[in-house]
């Protein structure tokens, strides 16, 4: 018996090290999951509840525009319409504050804000999760982990995998449907752009890019909590790294004379910076994540902001204007304010919100002068872009060279359509008229932004005299990229947009109503492109991406001259 038991005993001894190795690997995996659990403990429950609420209330939104001026915080139930209630909802809602369903009260408001931050953390960490925790879990299917750990790991894997599958599908769709003309052979070569420079330094996704009005600087804001200022003219060197925010930078705005920069972030603050020295001048705390910021067009002492807590705020920095002190002008919208534009008078503001409404506000009275539903399913608006005339480096103020109020308004929406409106010659007394519904790019679930290039020789309607018919509008087919006549860049009205696929899209929107052209699809980024901005003087475009980079694109046709 002793001899017969020896092999079994020996086998047991040989198996034990393998078991111990599995146990060690399991403990390592459990430790990684525990780290995530520690960060998400207070947030997971809300994340799952949000997913359930969206699924249960799909298609049942009955939102109506209304507003209250300087109202106290009160419970609100703001549901954005049309977001799918499947497994991807948790990651999709959390990935962008624009789609969150917040019920604000004293106990839960900060909690809901933090749900959004964790969602962004999950999206930014997706690659790391797949290569570490998720990969380890798949290699140990019988590791004996408890049900909660397996559930957490599966939740993270499902979220990141679903996002990856959707993005891969979008890439294949766009490659098949839209022709990119980057070979320089087309008749529209005069309006083609090519990659000039790749600005690296950020350690997180680049969420905001803004050229200064005089064109000398480029400011970029990132999920790494920093703002960087680059030379915007020739060498494009990094000039300053501005540190002070505690969470992701969401938006940037320049003062009209290019001496001041304003940054908004998810740490609930707006910070004012001196561009010449790179020093922080002041900080202003508000309610909720700051989604958007803008300066008064002619007064650097006044700025505006919109937040996830439904606040539209006007602050005069010369006074005690902290919104929490009650001295600033604060308007309570009925849903999150995602993007704003300030009229030249500094008293009228347009907002785009997470219920799909475009509202024009009189900041003195807090009243809505005009409310327009961008599209019937009430998808969130992620960004408003207004066309501008091009300026000069000779000291001429841009305000002096612009139209009284720029006519063209572009709205990025979560239904994957950019709508371009003609605001007329006397907004807001005139009702905006829909001109184009641009398709091809992707905006679903992501806060994508766009920007106009307004050629100095552009005359409204002149480009419509081209002989080529361009398919566009709301048709189901992809827009044509064939043009029968080259149009100089100086005579063009172009809209650039980021996209959830890794491309920058250039649309010609200078033709007659309903006709547009996809001029180019710029490739070079390796992840979502969040923001774009044209240089105010040169034929240059900057783009910021989730791949941590800023790319600068230049005109490709100078060799013809």
DSSP string, 275-311: TTTTEEEEEEE-SS-EEEEEE-SS-TTEEEEEETTSE
Residues near 31 by Cβ (< 8 Å), separated by ≥ 6? none
C-alpha of 285 from chain center? 22
Q: Which of 365, 507, 488 is nearest to 438 (CA)?
A: 507
Q: Which two tokens stand for residue 260?
A: 């001041």
Residues near 37 by Cβ (< 8 Å), separated by ≥ 6? 44, 152
**pLDDT at position 115 over 80:** no
Indicate the pLDDT class of residue 11, thresholds 50, 70 and 90.
very low
Q: What is the pLDDT of residues 479-509, one digit of tens each?
A: 443 344 567 888 889 999 999 999 999 999 9
Q: Which burial class, exposed, middle or buried, applies to 207 when counting CB atoms under 10 A from its CB (0-12, 13-18, 19+)? A: buried
C-beta atoms surrounding 66 within 10 Å? 10
Average pLDDT value for residue range 297-319 = 94
Average pLDDT value for residue range 31-47 = 59
Between CA 187 and CA 203 the distance in angstroms is: 40
Q: Is the separation of the CB atoms in 511 and 188 below 8 Å?
A: no
**pLDDT at position 347 over 70:** yes
> Which range scores top for mean pLDDT: 155-169, 383-397, 432-446?
432-446
Q: Which two tokens stand for residue 210?
A: 């803004």
Q: Is the separation of the CB atoms in 50 and 115 below 8 Å?
A: yes
Q: What is the pLDDT of residues 427-480, one digit of tens each?
A: 888 899 999 999 999 998 889 999 999 888 887 755 444 433 334 444 444 444
Residue carrying structure tokens 């980021």 = 498
Q: What is the pLDDT of residues 186-217, one digit of tens each?
A: 445 578 899 999 999 999 999 999 999 999 99
Cα Rg, the chain, nearest whole Å: 25
Per-residue confidence (pLDDT) for residue 38, from 0 to 100: 61
Q: Is the separation of the CB atoms in 457 and 490 below 8 Å?
A: yes
Q: How many percent of the chain have pLDDT more than 70?
A: 59
Indicate the pLDDT class of residue 389, thresholds 50, 70 and 90.
low
**pLDDT at position 182 over 70:** no
Average pLDDT value for residue range 92-113 = 46
Helix (H) or strand (E) holding 168: helix 147-177
DSSP class of 318: T
C-beta atoms surrounding 230 within 10 Å? 23
């Amino acid at each position: 018996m002793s001899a017969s038991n020896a092999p079994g005993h020996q086998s047991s001894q040989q198996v034990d090290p393998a078991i111990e190795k599995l146990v060690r690997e399991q403990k390592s995996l459990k430790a990684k999951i525990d780290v995530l659990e520690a960060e998400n403990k207070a947030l997971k429950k809300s994340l799952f509840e949000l997913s359930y609420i969206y699924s249960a209330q799909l298609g049942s939104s009955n939102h109506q525009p209304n507003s209250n001026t300087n109202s106290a915080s009160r419970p609100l139930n703001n549901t954005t319409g049309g977001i799918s209630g499947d497994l991807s909802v948790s990651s999709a809602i959390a990935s962008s504050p624009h789609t969150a369903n917040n019920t604000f009260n004293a106990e839960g408001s900060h909690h809901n804000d933090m749900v959004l931050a964790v969602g962004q953390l999950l999206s930014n960490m997706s690659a790391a999760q797949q290569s570490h925790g998720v990969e380890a879990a798949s290699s140990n299917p019988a590791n004996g982990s408890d049900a909660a750990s397996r559930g957490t790991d599966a939740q993270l894997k499902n979220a990141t995998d679903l996002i990856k599958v959707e993005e891969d599908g979008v890439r294949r769709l766009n490659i098949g449907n839209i022709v990119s003309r980057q070979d320089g052979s087309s008749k529209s070569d005069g309006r083609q752009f090519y990659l000039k420079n790749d600005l690296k330094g950020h350690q997180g996704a680049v969420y905001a890019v803004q050229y200064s009005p005089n064109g000398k600087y480029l400011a970029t804001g990132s999920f790494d909590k920093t703002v960087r200022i680059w030379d915007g003219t020739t060498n494009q060197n990094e000039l300053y790294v501005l540190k002070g925010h505690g969470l992701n930078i969401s938006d940037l705005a320049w003062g009209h004379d290019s001496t001041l920069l304003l940054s908004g972030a998810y740490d609930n603050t707006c910070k004012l910076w001196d561009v010449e020295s790179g020093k922080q001048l002041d900080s202003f705390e508000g309610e909720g994540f700051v989604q958007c910021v803008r300066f008064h067009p002619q007064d650097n002492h006044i700025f505006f902001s919109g937040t996830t807590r439904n606040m539209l705020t006007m602050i005069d920095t010369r006074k005690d204007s902290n919104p929490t002190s009650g001295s600033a002008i604060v308007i309570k919208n009925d849903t999150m304010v995602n993007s704003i534009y300030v009229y030249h008078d500094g008293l009228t503001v347009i907002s785009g919100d997470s219920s799909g409404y475009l509202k024009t506000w009189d900041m003195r009275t807090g009243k809505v002068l005009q409310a327009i539903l961008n599209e019937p399913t009430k998808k969130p608006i992620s960004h408003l872009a207004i066309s501008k005339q091009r300026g000069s480096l000779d000291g001429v103020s841009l305000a002096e060279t612009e139209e009284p109020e720029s006519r063209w308004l572009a709205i990025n929406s979560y239904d994957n359509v950019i709508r371009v409106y003609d605001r007329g010659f006397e907004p807001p007394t005139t009702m905006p008229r829909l001109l184009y519904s641009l398709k091809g790019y992707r905006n679903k679930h992501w806060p994508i932004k766009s920007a106009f290039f307004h050629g100095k020789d552009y005359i409204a309607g002149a480009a419509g005299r081209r002989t080529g018919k361009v398919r566009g509008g709301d048709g189901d087919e992809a827009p044509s990229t064939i043009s029968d006549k080259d149009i100089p860049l100086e005579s063009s009205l172009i809209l650039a947009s980021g996209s959830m696929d890794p491309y920058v899209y250039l649309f010609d929107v200078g033709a007659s109503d309903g006709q547009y052209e996809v001029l180019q699809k710029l490739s070079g980024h390796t992840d979502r492109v969040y923001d774009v901005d044209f240089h105010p003087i040169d034929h240059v475009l900057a783009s910021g991406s989730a791949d941590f980079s800023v790319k600068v694109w230049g005109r490709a046709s100078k060799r013809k001259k």
